[in-house]
Amino acid sequence: MEKRDRLHEGKAKIAFATDDPGLVIFEFKDAATAFDGKKKGTISGKGAVNARISAVLFKYLEEKGIPTHFKELLSPVDMLALKVEIIPVEVVMRNIVAGSLSKRLGIEEGRALDEPVLEFYYKSDELGDPMINQYHVKAMKLASDDELLRIVELSFAINRHLKNFFAARQLELVDFKLEFGRRDGEVYLADEISPDTCRLWDMSTREKLDKDRFRRDLGGVEDAYQEVLRRVEGPGTMS
């Protein structure tokens, strides 16, 4: 499978057409951004790390009954995937208070939530991905009622499965972002699952092993990403 025309370039990946109209290739980049693109940099080896982590997690979720766009890795940075129409509603699942939730609600970072919190955001770089609710989704016709119900159902299931997966590797899944796509009337998990899109803390030390090290100038970014990869590709203690 070869890359054809460039379809789209985002902050973390480039999408290419293939000789199969139903498939695309995503090339993962080392470029890093934060704060809606205001902070930019490079994390050496990030593209390959995120592609490999995403591949493991997509395969794991597929085994748990979650439909994903993932097909296979073609190279360390190239992922073959189903071509889906991205639904412009990002989901953030929160298990522990961190980041913007702490700032918005005045709750100290690190407090575990009694129940997972699901938030919707309108996927729009121009508007800074503002938070919305299901009524906005309906008014703006971003997704049908059935699609939104499916997205919610899948998001909570994904959270349960990923929490178990990471806990077996001594990682706390603090929060994470999901994107979904539609194809032939079905909803698929799309995009990636990586330290770029998840907050992951070491269970013992609560050391941050994710993009917050880049956002907050904590240093050791490459080492943190490599540590997550090591644990994700390792045997773990449960699945």
SS3 57: helix
Which domain, by its residues, includes 210?
85-219
Would residue 168 count as lying in a domain?
Answer: yes
pLDDT tens digits, residue range 121-153? 999 989 999 999 999 999 999 999 999 999 999
pLDDT of residue 236: 56
| pLDDT tens-digit series, residues 172-182 | 999 999 999 99
DSSP result, 169-197: TTEEEEEEEEEEEEETTEEEEES--STTT
Percent of the chain with pLDDT over 90: 93
In a domain, 230, yes or no: no
CA end-to-end distance (rounded Å), the chain = 31
The total number of structural domains that make up the chain? 2
Q: Which of 125-129, 152-156, 188-192 has the lowest mean pLDDT?
A: 125-129
Is the confidence at residue 238, as pLDDT, over 60? no
State how far the Cα of 178 lies from the Cα of 57, in Å rounded to an integer.
13
> Residue 227: inside a domain, yes or no?
no
* Residue 112 in domain: yes
What does the pLDDT read at residue 39?
Answer: 86
The DSSP result for 43-54, as a single string, is -TTHHHHHHHHH
**Residue 103: is its pLDDT beyond 60?**
yes
Summarised one tens digit per residue, pLDDT across range 206-216 is 999 999 999 99
Residue 64 and residue 27 share a domain: yes
Same domain, residue pair 50 and 101: no
Please indicate, yes or no, whether residues 212 and 135 belong to a single structural domain of this protein: yes
